Structure 1
Amino acid sequence: MQRRPPLLINTEAIEAWPAGLLRARSNLDARLLARAHWVLRRKRDGRYLAAVLVHGVHAMVPRLAREPGVEEALSLLHAPLARPFAATLEEQWLALAGLQQRLQQLGLDPQRYADDSGLPLEPEPCLLHLAGHDRFGRPLWLRRGAAQGWRRMRVHAAREGVALDAISGFRSHAYQLGIFERKRARGLSVADILKVNAAPGFSEHHSGHALDIGTPGDAPAEESFEATDAFAWLQAHAGEHGFQLSYPRDNPHGIVYEPWHWCWKPANG
């Protein structure tokens, strides 16, 4: 029987990762990860919070019970339908209310930003599928259709002598908010940060449908990608696999030209 790819269970504050995909950061981590099925990981900064073992939960931080979202994440892991292939989670998305509140705390009006940029708020999926690994060896998480499309497209390109690799895929609201918080702590204003980082919640990467694509030997996420055989191949064939270039030159969102950023568009929308 064919083994299905691992899943990432996503909640507002915490991600539940298959333990075998995480890197140990200490000898204690290594011992726990070797025995664990899942690891709870704080989305804002990637901190490992707890290892879920056969016979219970082992805290990896002090005062685990005070961590926001721990009970929710554990309840999903313990629910029979959420383990391991939760059809009930496949079409669910996280609520946006918490994100909007945190944007306002940053001094950002979500509606005004949406009007100015023409970009919609992007909810996060509750379930993501492993689509392989990116150029840096990190697990690449995407929605199921995008993951399948990426794998097929990469094989198609390889058969025609073109090498594609992924630079990044899914990124959470919390991760993006963490970037803003760290930069503000260094003294940057929100206006300055927005010159180089999209407002949290408005990136296609949050949807699990978008990925940044590169080719070996070319710098990641640079306009030079436009001159590669890989980009020419994508222009000719990406649409066959459901992918579209999101930010061409002079796009209506005011986003800089990104020849590396491609988004899978579901057939029904």
Structure 2
Amino acid sequence: MRGQPRILINTPDVELWPGGLLRARSNADARVLSRAGRVLRRKRDGRYLAAALPEGMLSLSPRWAHEPGIEAALDALDSLRTDRGFDIDASGELPLEQLIERLDSLGLDESYGEKVGLGLVPEPVALAFAGFDRYRRPLWLTAHAARAWEGMRRIAGSEGVVLEAISGYRSHHYQLGIFERKLARGQTVEQILTVNAAPGYSEHHSGNALDIGTPGEAPAEESFENTAAFAWLTANAEAFGFLMSYPRDNPHGIVYEPWHWYYAR
């Protein structure tokens, strides 16, 4: 497993991370992660559940073997061990049933998407490592988007323009977590929806969307449109397959986001 490309394997409840890309939270973690081929990480809160070491599975959390969705994660791990020809370009998408159940718990259904003109976005089964973002976090994209981003970033750099990734793939769990934290602080679902898209409706779930910045510029601010990076993207991004999703007066009612670009090929 050590010689495999750096790929994030996605299941509905658990992610399978390459050990070397996770942050150690203790000295004991550091020793384990340095040897782990894969680490099973709970999507809901990022907790490390177990590590696949050369000698076998090592528990990182009590009762990890009884976690929801652990069987699907272990099946995916077995497939990785036995299938040397894993094709990330044809890895498919996760089902949406679990997401629809959670939307229902928020009092939402697909009529929300109809109202804003957006469809539910499934998560990819696998994502490619696309370097690090501005904050030195691993950046995950679909394989096609990752190749396009690397090519675009390299060409921009050769022309004196620095493009930084602010964020890429985000899971349904990540978006649900935003809602759960705000609900716990006393906000209503209606209040949260004025600022955040409903879980499942963000282009970031697809692994094809990027928030892009440039050094010296605050992330995700309209002022990005005044930078050399934005001017370069406006002139060149489409050639690499990237389009700006939310221009001014877009039909979805989403605020102008000059930093948000989607790989559409």
Same fold per superposition (TM over 0.5): yes
Is the 8 Å Cα contact of residues 44 and 174 (structure 1) preserved in structure 2?
Answer: yes
Number of the residue aligned with 1:202: 201
Number of the residue aligned with 2:177: 178
Number of the residue aligned with 1:38: 38
Is the 8 Å Cα contact of residues 89 and 144 (structure 2) preserved in structure 1?
Answer: no
Q: What TM-score comes out, normalization by structure 1 length? A: 0.94
Partners in 2 of 1:229 and 1:88 — Cα distance? 34
Number of the residue aligned with 2:137: 138
**Cα displacement string for residues 146-176 of structure 1 (whole angstroms, at most 9, x for unaligned residues):** 0000000001101111000000000000111
Instruction: Compute the RMSD of aligned alpha carbons.
Output: 1.6
Q: CA deviation at 1:90?
A: 3.0
Secondary structure at the aligned position of 1:182 is classed as helix
Q: 1:221 to 1:24 in 2, by over 3 A?
A: same
Equivalent positions of 1:83-94 (< 5 A) are 86-87=86-87, 90-94=90-94
Equivalent positions of 1:1-269 (< 5 A) are 5-80=5-80, 86-87=86-87, 90-109=90-109, 111-266=110-265
Partners in 2 of 1:88 and 1:133 — Cα distance? 19
Partners in 2 of 1:32 and 1:57 — Cα distance? 11
State the number of aligned residues: 263
Secondary structure at the aligned position of 2:139 is classed as strand
Q: CA deviation at 1:91?
A: 3.3
Which segments of 5 or more consecutive residues in structure 1 lack a partner in the other structure?
A: none
Partners in 2 of 1:197 and 1:189 — Cα distance? 12
Is the 8 Å Cα contact of residues 238 and 244 (structure 1) preserved in structure 2?
Answer: yes
Secondary structure at the aligned position of 1:52 is classed as strand
Is the 8 Å Cα contact of residues 76 and 82 (structure 1) preserved in structure 2?
Answer: no
Partners in 2 of 1:180 and 1:85 — Cα distance? 39
Q: What TM-score comes out, normalization by structure 2 length? A: 0.95
Secondary structure at the aligned position of 2:32 is classed as helix
**Cα displacement string for residues 170-219 of structure 1 (whole angstroms, at most 9, x for unaligned residues):** 00001111111122112111111112211000000000000000000000
Q: CA deviation at 1:88?
A: 7.4
Moved segments of 4+, more than 4 Å: 80-85
Secondary structure at the aligned position of 2:146 is classed as helix
- In terms of mean alpha carbon deviation, does 50-59 or 140-149 score higher? 50-59
Q: Which amino acid aligns with 1:237?
A: N
Q: CA deviation at 1:41?
A: 0.7
Secondary structure at the aligned position of 1:114 is classed as helix
- In terms of mean alpha carbon deviation, does 154-163 or 82-91 score higher? 82-91
- Alignment identity in percent? 61
Is the 8 Å Cα contact of residues 131 and 139 (structure 1) preserved in structure 2?
Answer: yes
Is the 8 Å Cα contact of residues 81 and 88 (structure 1) preserved in structure 2?
Answer: no
